[in-house]
Amino acid sequence: MQQTSPGSLLTALRADPPLVQNITNFVAMNIAANVLLAAGASPAMVHAEEEASEFAGIARALTINIGTLSAGWMKGMHSAADAANRAGKPWVLDPVAHYATNFRRQAVDALLAHRPTIIRGNASEIIALAGGTNRGQGVDSRDPVEQAQSSARILAKAHGAVVAATGEIDFVTDGERAFVIEGGSRFMPAVTALGCSLTCLVGALAAVFPTDPLVSSVAALTIFAVAGENAARQADGPGSFAWRFLDALSALDGPTLDRQARIRAA
């Protein structure tokens, strides 16, 4: 097992569980916390403006998601992103449905000014963020990841961030290097907030291996791809898939992950 393989990073996460602060949405809070616990990390959903920046000083990574945004939450997001940057800790932005309303567009522009370490969105969100025409509907993607690849590269260069575009396959780039990750299940987009949960896991892996956020992002995407594939084998539909996914995540170990990983340079 290579020292930076997804499997070795999963093993490292379990050996020293990172505390991850997530300012996520009301839909995602429960499932995202359970996903982080199943993977072996310590989630904390802390968003209030009175404490968000103080907590960012304690946590090893921060994730920010605008899924159910309101004005009060924005203040917590800004102060937490500031605090993470000042402490040199990685932070991840999930620009949920940012193309849908002016409020969201302005919020994402303001958050991008804090220079996220990683941006994780579905294909429609990544295409729209780079100024392209997308077919997304609300929080749901309707574009293939293949069409988001050039947008992801442009965004990565423009913002100095790692950018991950997810869907049937996943694509991730730092603007120079790029990887495609295959796996997952058709049930995944049918369970709400799995993408939001993935964003939190991307934060957890960035905490474990902050040196190279492209490598840590590949690990997080691969963990989801393999756990999703394993969970789908016996699932009857989105309901049983959801709990089987948590079980598959917690059953996954480093060597199995590396054996099942389907990652190729792009």
Residue 192 interacts with ligand ATP (CB under 6 A): yes or no: yes
- The angle subtended at Cα 57 by Cα 56 and Cα 59, nearest 5°, is 60
Closest-CB residue for ligand Cc1ncsc1CCO?
67
Residue 240 interacts with ligand Cc1ncsc1CCO (CB under 6 A): yes or no: no
From candidates 81, 107, 127, 198, binder to ligand ATP by CB under 6 A: 198
Question: What string of DSSP letters covers the chain?
Answer: --TTSHHHHHHHHHHSPPEEEEE--TTTHHHHHHHHHHHT-EEE----TTTHHHHHHHSSEEEEE-TT--HHHHHHHHHHHHHHHHTT--EEEE-TTTTS-HHHHHHHHHHHTT--SEEEEEHHHHHHHTT-----BTTB--S-GGGGHHHHHHHHHHHTSEEEEESSEEEEESSSSEEEEE---TTGGGSTTHHHHHHHHHHHHHHH-TT-HHHHHHHHHHHHHHHHHHHHTT-SSHHHHHHHHHHHHHH--HHHHHHH-EEEE-
Q: Work out the number of other CB atoms within 10 angstroms of the CB of residue 27.
A: 16
Q: What is the residue type of 67? A: G
From candidates 161, 191, 193, 232, binder to ligand Cc1ncsc1CCO by CB under 6 A: 193
Report the nearest approach of Mg ion to the CB of residue 132 (Å): 17
From candidates 67, 116, 213, 254, binder to ligand Cc1ncsc1CCO by CB under 6 A: 67
Q: Which of residues 185-214 bind Mg ion (CB under 5 A)?
A: 195
Report the nearest approach of ligand ATP to the CB of residue 176 (Å): 22
Binding piece for ligand Cc1ncsc1CCO, criterion CB under 6 A, among 23-31, 168-176, 221-229, 247-255: 23-31
Residue 110 assigned ligand-binding role: no
Binding piece for ligand ATP, criterion CB under 6 A, among 4-12, 187-195, 209-217, 256-264: 187-195
Residue 120 assigned ligand-binding role: yes
User: Residue 68 binds which entry of ligand Cc1ncsc1CCO, Mg ion, ligand ATP, none, with Cβ cut-offs from 5 to 8 Å by kind?
Assistant: ligand Cc1ncsc1CCO
User: Residue 185 binds which entry of ligand ATP, Mg ion, ligand Cc1ncsc1CCO, none, with Cβ cut-offs from 5 to 8 Å by kind?
Assistant: ligand ATP
| Four-residue CA torsion sign, 63, 141, 177, 5 | positive
Q: For Mg ion, which is the closer residue by CB, 96 or 232?
A: 96
Q: Which of residues 88-107 bind ligand Cc1ncsc1CCO (CB under 6 A)?
A: 96
From candidates 5, 22, 25, 173, binder to ligand Cc1ncsc1CCO by CB under 6 A: 25
d(CA 138, CA 102): 13
Contacting residues toward ligand Cc1ncsc1CCO, per CB under 6 A: 25, 27-28, 67-68, 96, 139, 192-193, 196
Which residues belong to the annotated binding site for substrate? 45, 193
Which residues belong to the annotated binding site for ATP? 120, 166
